[in-house]
A and B are shown apart, each in its own frame.
Chain A
């Protein structure tokens, strides 16, 4: 059946009309480019757009002791462009202060894990975030060189039961002890 099925398929394909030459790649680049730009807008700036903005920030604030602001911008921006597979992924990120104490960290962990809205709680150290950042921006060596691992904050990454809960959830955690900031990220999971 296997071989005969292939033969059948081949026969079905015999009346294939000629492929319009050349234009395929160009047309795909035009509409694909538009798609990419639209996605960037939707994601609040995709990889390249964000990298441009961040390099500009870092370039302007270039000083012997680099400010921590750009690194925070990087941490907030670490949302790869959405792929089809990741289209519906949303998560909240709770960034911790550099001087967060172990007690505060434990308390946050405890209340996140006991929160009935949270379906998944993941702790991401600044070091792990830095590794991810290096992978994501490997096309932009200047940007990678400008950010030090210790500038990226530790964070909790949380998935919620229903998308509509994110706004409220983030607000609640905004002012908690040890929390630097909280944000909602779309398509935070790396593709593939």
Chain B
């Protein structure tokens, strides 16, 4: 059976695998930097962001043969990433208490970059994980309501109401001077 269907299939499969791997490498090159930034805005820790990006890419590679022709790989990768973030949160919340209070000095004004940093990231962390994801995807990534809804498996209406609520909360936590920056 040197040229049986199995042999032919194996050959075809092998060259297709190589083509897919090439596509994957190209995808990682273009998508990884931005994925890592999204991950950072979700967790506030560059090391963890790197790990989450790695997890996301590994999970995507595991089903690459099925998804590589996906019309919107970018949105798909956000979905995988957010699930990785939510999983990580769930695990972490079992072992550690999350800081839910803003530091006293939040409204001190004239913040240095590092202080702004701490304030914004802490304020974000007080939002429920899904609301935080909505804010990052909508206002930093600039995805449409519809795309955010698909990424997070929520209805469009829910994305709209939850993002409005999250923004109000952020505005209160950050104070007016931030909103005008």
Contacts and interface: CB of A to CB of B under 8 A. Distances in A.
Contacts of A17: 46
Contact count band on B? 35 or more
B162 interface: no
**A: interface residue count bin:** 35 or more
B29 A28 contact: no
Nearest to B76: A192
B25 A25 contact: yes
B63 interface: yes
A7 interface: yes
A69 interface: no
Interface stretch (A29-37, A90-98, A148-156): A29-37
Contact of A4 (B4, B36, B181): B181
Interface in A72-87: 80-81, 83-85
A62 B5 contact: yes
A19 B49 CA distance: 11
A162 interface: no
B5 A59 contact: yes
A107 interface: no
A191 B9 contact: no
B44 to A, nearest CB: 9
A174 B181 CA distance: 69
A142 interface: yes
Contacts of B61: 28-29, 31-33, 35-36
A32 B57 contact: yes
B145 interface: no
A1 B179 contact: yes
A32 B179 contact: no
Interface string B55-86: 00111111111110010000010001001000
A84 B9 contact: no
A177 B49 CA distance: 57
B63 A191 contact: yes
A39 interface: yes
Interface of B: 1, 4-6, 8-10, 12-13, 16, 21, 24-25, 28-29, 32-33, 36-37, 40-41, 46, 50, 53-54, 57-67, 70, 76, 80, 83, 113, 116-117, 120-121, 135-136, 139-140, 142, 153, 167, 170-171, 178-181
Given A1-B179, A9-B120, A48-B13, 6 more contacts: A9-B136, A35-B58, A56-B6, A85-B153, A140-B13, A143-B9
13 contacts: A4-B181, A9-B139, A16-B36, A16-B46, A19-B36, A24-B32, A27-B57, A29-B24, A32-B62, A83-B63, A140-B13, A142-B8, A192-B76
